[in-house]
Chains A and B, each alone.
Chain A
């Protein structure tokens, strides 16, 4: 029986396939990936529109409210948390009771359904972060969150990447505040020669090994 020979035209099949089929499909795939998968929401500059146009500039900046009035668990828990609606209503049951901007807050207070805020500072699930530990060492809010007292809408100012964390963990001294400076003070200038000693006199040893954060 004679051996089977591919016809001569079959030599053109592969180049044509690559050029006309795989090339365009791959280009389209890459373009789709570039178009559809930017991680804006974990990058610097992420500034989503919130359901309530809450202004940190007004509350924290101009009126000088302490961060911890609303983010009360920050010193005791891992999360700073967005306050419950009732905290807003502590004041807004008396102040600006007819403001249109506060409609969602009043609704939530009335019907008991929570306000769904969009998360701005979002670490990946494989990273462990505890606000209370950083509060205990007196790392200022501004270190990670930037001048939030000047922001009309909350925006991610720092990269919150691994290198961002490690820069501080490897040399925590300049980021630690003395006892007489509040962690919420946005304008305090750190002393670059400050050693790795917390306000309570304890030397801090921030973890730089993997499992310190990737538990």
Chain B
């Protein structure tokens, strides 16, 4: 065995001097002395109190001795009540029917209570919101609030120094409040009472009394989670802050726009029940389909058949896009039916009226036909009033009649969402000039007694722009006359627009139908150059060109129109629809029934004159209601468009009959209009 001396590091003086700390570098003597130690003094021991070793010693002994307590059965006490609560059996649960408020809404409950402590909440099966006993998770969890250690146990008051809160008894608190009330009453000072959402008549009466006693008081109601936005939507739509109750069971296609209808928004239990009811396996064909467009992963998204992740700020844009789909489809159907191509212009009839055959034109918008070189005196001769004001007004009237009578011509639906978008923005002031600009632009057209059809053609070609301008202008005017029009100018403007459209139909029915159909007869008479100007005051006098036109599509027998006569049967159909307005029997019934898009299209294609005007108004209402209730700011507003909810508990058949109930009408959408599949509910 060799004894080896420990290895000693030789002090290396050859290389660079290394240092381990700034203190060593600075060569502070008091720190140099500590350098050999691995740790500074006292750093392994706590500054005061028990060391780690002592702690473990004591804990070990305690744990070892703890078992001794089990050696003896405890001597138990029985402690009954002095005054027992009624009906209570120790150990047995008691159930109470009661209600709690959540977001200011009362929710019917059954509370399970053990020995005086509520332990479990369930929905009251007798309550309509519970759908047989369910309850929202949030309310289920609210029982824990009772045992929350962070709940304040007693009133607290800011101390005299103002730096902390001190506990007070209730009598102290009421005294302090009384003193405060006296002080404020004397000074007439303003102060604010903040309350949560509540539906307590007692509390409301107290608040009213407070307000009566102190006029300066402001009472603010606010809840972080509430249906306030939804109620505001209902208020905009109906004038009163109704609760929205979605009847999801009736919906076949459900689209949620950032709305968690199965998790947080609305009557969740009822909606979940309805959603499940709509997914019965017994009839897979009738199963509903849920499309969730959302910014966060929600319960609805997890249950959805199709889920689209979308930023919250993009949801509004998506809503607009979605709203534009039905009117665009309808528009394309119209174009297709009129021209044979979905993307060709449907304004041929319009052109025919305004232009006339090549090298010719129609002066006075249907008053007669002139050709190149026949301007001026010729026209003045043929026009009843020459170039006078009466003739101009007549021309304008005829033109506007045509314009108004054609719903699609009157307001291209695709432009409506755009108009709404603009209406909510700042562009509104500038675009208010749109109406004036349009009138100015049309000025030569109105007085086109000597003006070739080129002017009409120009504006017809610029059709979408023209109608966007029209709608925007109406909106702008509505904003300008906001007070006169009421709280929701946009709704009123919409009403006026549709009233004009319906008036146009009515006028068309009264005098325009036959002449228009003949005018538009595609058999060449229109272009036959048979200039035989009629002098009668028939609104469509020019249409009776030699009476060779086939009698087409009298209201009620639109089947007479041939498929080839695009323009002709289109008229027949349109005016036929108007006819139905006046028929009180099954025709009137049809009028109320908005049909599916496919059906509309079929009507278009077979020339059935039964397509009612309601079809169009439905789509326009849809568009309006959607963008009316969706703000353009991209902020998430759960369920704000209550107006477009699935079933608003308004009889859907009260639809077009009452033109002011726009949002009500939308309730029809989910039942009768769809894109292939049937029904759509717009929920946001």
Contacts and interface: CB of A to CB of B under 8 A. Distances in A.
Interface of A: 1, 33, 36-39, 41-42, 48, 73, 76-79, 81-87, 108-109, 111-119, 122
B80 A119 contact: no
B77 A117 contact: yes
Contacts of B1: 1
B75 interface: yes
A33 B68 CA distance: 9
A83 B82 CA distance: 9
B1 to A, nearest CB: 8
Interface in B81-124: 81-84, 89-92
B115 to A, nearest CB: 11
B91 A79 contact: yes
B79 to A, nearest CB: 5
A81 B88 CA distance: 12
Contacts of A115: 79-80, 82
A1 B90 CA distance: 79
6 contacts: A76-B89, A84-B84, A86-B81, A86-B82, A86-B84, A114-B80
Contacts of A73: 89-90, 92
Nearest to A73: B89
A77 B114 CA distance: 12
Contacts of B83: 84-86, 112
A33 B67 CA distance: 13
B281 interface: no
A42 B74 CA distance: 9
Given A76-B89, A78-B92, A118 B75 contact: yes
Please give me the 8 A-B residue pairs with the lowest Cβ-Cβ distance, nearest first. Answer: A84-B84, A119-B76, A37-B71, A77-B89, A84-B81, A73-B89, A117-B78, A85-B82
A39 B91 CA distance: 26
B92 A76 contact: yes
B168 to A, nearest CB: 25
Contacts of B72: 36-39
Nearest to A124: B73
A109 B92 CA distance: 25
B77 A78 contact: no
A78 B79 CA distance: 16
B289 to A, nearest CB: 47
Contacts of B89: 73, 76-77
Given A76-B92, A77-B89, A78-B91, A84 B76 contact: no
Given A79-B90, A86-B84, A119-B75, 14 more contacts: A33-B71, A36-B72, A38-B72, A76-B89, A77-B91, A77-B92, A81-B90, A86-B81, A113-B82, A114-B80, A117-B77, A118-B76, A118-B77, A119-B77
Interface string B313-339: 000000000000000000000000000
Contacts of A77: 89-92
The interface residues of chain B, by DSSP majority, are classed as: loop
Contacts of B75: 41, 48, 118-119
A1 B3 CA distance: 12
A34 B79 CA distance: 30
B393 to A, nearest CB: 92
A109 B81 CA distance: 10
Contacts of B71: 33, 36-37
A114 B82 CA distance: 5
A185 to B, nearest CB: 24
Contacts of A76: 89, 92
B243 to A, nearest CB: 41
A41 B80 contact: no
B76 A122 contact: yes
Contacts of A84: 80-84
Contacts of A109: 82
A37 B73 CA distance: 8
A81 B77 contact: no
A84 B83 CA distance: 6
Interface in B28-83: 71-73, 75-83
Contacts of B82: 84-86, 108-109, 111-115
Contacts of A87: 84
B78 A82 contact: yes
A116 B73 contact: no
B583 to A, nearest CB: 71
Interface in B155-189: none
Contacts of A39: 72-73
Contacts of A118: 75-78
B76 to A, nearest CB: 4
B90 A42 contact: no
B80 A82 contact: yes
Contacts of A111: 82
A81 B80 contact: yes
Nearest to B88: A73
B93 to A, nearest CB: 10
A118 B89 CA distance: 20
Contact of B73 (A42, A86, A108, A112): A42
A172 to B, nearest CB: 24
Contacts of A82: 78, 80
A86 to B, nearest CB: 5
Contacts of B84: 84, 86-87
Contacts of B73: 39, 41-42, 122
A195 B566 CA distance: 95
A118 B92 CA distance: 22
Interface centre among B75, B77, B80 (most CB of A within 10 A): B80
A123 to B, nearest CB: 10
Nearest to B72: A37
Contacts of B92: 73, 76-78
A10 B312 CA distance: 85
Contacts of B90: 73, 77, 79, 81
Nearest to A78: B91
A85 B81 contact: yes
Nearest to A115: B80
Nearest to A87: B84
Interface centre among B71, B76, B82 (most CB of A within 10 A): B82
A83 B76 contact: no
A38 B79 CA distance: 24
Contacts of A41: 73, 75-76
Contacts of A83: 80
Contacts of B76: 41, 118-119, 122
Nearest to A130: B91
B22 to A, nearest CB: 49
A1 B1 CA distance: 9
A115 to B, nearest CB: 7
Interface centre among B71, B91, B92 (most CB of A within 10 A): B91
A36 B71 CA distance: 9
A149 to B, nearest CB: 20
A119 B84 CA distance: 19
A145 B78 CA distance: 17
A81 B81 CA distance: 10
Interface centre among B78, B91, B92 (most CB of A within 10 A): B78
A51 B92 CA distance: 27
A112 B72 CA distance: 32
Nearest to A51: B77
A83 B79 CA distance: 9
Interface string B494-537: 00000000000000000000000000000000000000000000
A85 B82 CA distance: 5
A115 B83 CA distance: 11
